[in-house]
Structure 1
Amino acid sequence: MALRNSNTKTVGGSKRSAVEILLAENVDNLGQRGEIVRVKPGYARNYLLPYGLATVATEENKKNVELHKQRLKEVEKKQVQLFKERADAISKYSVTLEANANDDGHLYGSIVAPDIAKALTSAGFDVTADHVKLEGPLKELGMYTVKIELHSQVNTEVKVWVVPAAS
């Protein structure tokens, strides 16, 4: 006769029932980490639990997940505030880039997002090429307003001056 450890949670139920589990990892076509989902007992017992993809959704686990979500929201709020401060500083700055151009003002090359990001980084702003949202490469001399997306909730603009290179 096998003895069952009293601390071990099992998933039971009939073939028609569903059980609540807490996802420990993202599972395709089921949910994201931290979500509580309902699945058939066999799926939970034979796949999700043994592979560590989920755990039984006890009241204690549900409370811990809610506390964790609240902490994540607080951290996100602080990050958004920092991004807003950085966006405000970037909007007050203008970038000047030199490029070789012909007499009509057409560039021999082009200015692209990494060029703008590099100029902003050298000025002390933490900006990557992914943050710079250009509709296309800049191919002429002039002043451009370029969108910078630091976060999904934080956008700003920077003035980019493309001037002829000094010979």
Structure 2
Amino acid sequence: MKIILTKDVRSMGRAHETVEVADGHALNFLIPQQLAVLATPAAMRAAETRKTKAATDRQVQEQLIAQNLETLAEKRIVITKKANDKGHLYDAVGVPEILAAVQEQAHVVLPEDTIRIEHPFKEVGTHDVSVAHGEHFGKFTISIETEA
């Protein structure tokens, strides 16, 4: 049976692709789970339109991410947290706090899965943060300071 995938399905294909699958698999799993629709001529035209639009959107998003990474490389993000006398933070700085600070200070919105840190930061000081999105990679610096 020929179907059009509405979402990415592992080992089968990506969204908006037309694939051939067993009738039972399509009728009992993919279509009821809204992972696919029957490949009628009208549905195929609509899928092609959505596929073209998705490719254009992806290209625009890639350009925006590249610009955002350039902007971030030039910025210094400052996060203030409570710390003891030795510079150990009472509360670690993780990805959500970094994203919030980037959005507030650099006016850049990044998806959560693009930030790469080995572990949450637990020390006052300067730390490097890696950003990876698709083919684009970048780094920026955050400075964790003691709250007054």
- Same fold judged by TM-score > 0.5? yes
Return closer, same or farther for 1:33/1:108 CA change in 2, 3 Å cut-off.
closer
Structure 2 residue 125 is the aligned partner of structure 1 residue 145: no
Cα 1:159–1:76 change in 2 (3 A) is same
Larger Rg, first or second structure (1 or 2): 1
**For 1:75, what is the secondary structure of its paired residue?**
helix
Distance 2:92 2:10 in 1: 41
Compute the RMSD of aligned alpha carbons: 3.3
- Aligned equivalent of 2:110: 127
Aligned-pair distance for 1:29? Answer: 7.0
2-structure distance, mates of 1:127, 1:63: 33
Structure 1 stretch displaced more, 124-133 or 21-30: 21-30
Higher relative contact order, chain-length normalized (CA < 8 Å, sep 6+) = 2
User: Residues 82 and 104 from structure 1, CA distance in 2 versus in 1: closer, same or farther, beyond 3 angstroms?
Assistant: same
Distance in 2 (CA, whole Å) between partners of 1:39 and 1:161 is: 53
- Aligned partners of 1:28 and 1:164: how far apart in 2? 46
What whole-Å deviation, never above 9, does each CA across 1:107-163 have from its counterpart, x for those lacking one? 2222122221111111222135444322111111111001123x3233322201112
* Residue 110, structure 1, aligned to residue 103, structure 2: no
Which residues in structure 2 correspond to 1:5-154 (within 5 Å)? 21-23=2-4, 25-26=6-7, 31-39=13-21, 43=23, 47=27, 53-56=37-40, 65=47, 68-123=50-105, 124-127=107-110, 129-149=112-132, 151-154=133-136
Q: Which runs of 5+ in 1 are unaligned?
A: 1-18
Q: CA deviation at 1:88?
A: 0.8
Tell me, yes or no, if the aligned pair for 1:22 and 1:34 is still in contact at 8 Å. Answer: no
Partner SS state of residue 53, structure 1: strand
User: What number of residue pairs does the alignment pair up?
Assistant: 140
Instruction: Report the CA distance shift for 1:53/1:67 in structure 2 as closer, same or farther (over 3 A).
Output: closer
The TM-score normalised by the length of structure 1 is 0.64
Seen in structure 2, the aligned counterparts of structure 1 residues 110 and 72 have a Cα distance that, compared at 3 Å, is closer
User: Does the C-alpha gap of structure 1 residues 38 and 111 become closer, same or farther in structure 2, counting only changes over 3 Å?
Assistant: closer
**Bigger share in helix:** 2
Q: Following the alignment from structure 2 to structure 1, what is the Cα–Cα distance between the partners of residues 141 and 74? A: 9
What TM-score does the superposition give when structure 2 sets the normalisation length? Answer: 0.70
Give CA-to-partner distance per residue, 1:80-130, whole Å, 9 cap, x none: 111111111111111112222233222222212222111111122213544
Given that residues 23 and 31 in structure 1 are in contact (C-alpha distance below 8 angstroms), is that contact kept between their aligned partners in structure 2?
Answer: no
Percent identity of the aligned residues?
Answer: 21
- Structure 2: state its 5+ residue gaps: none
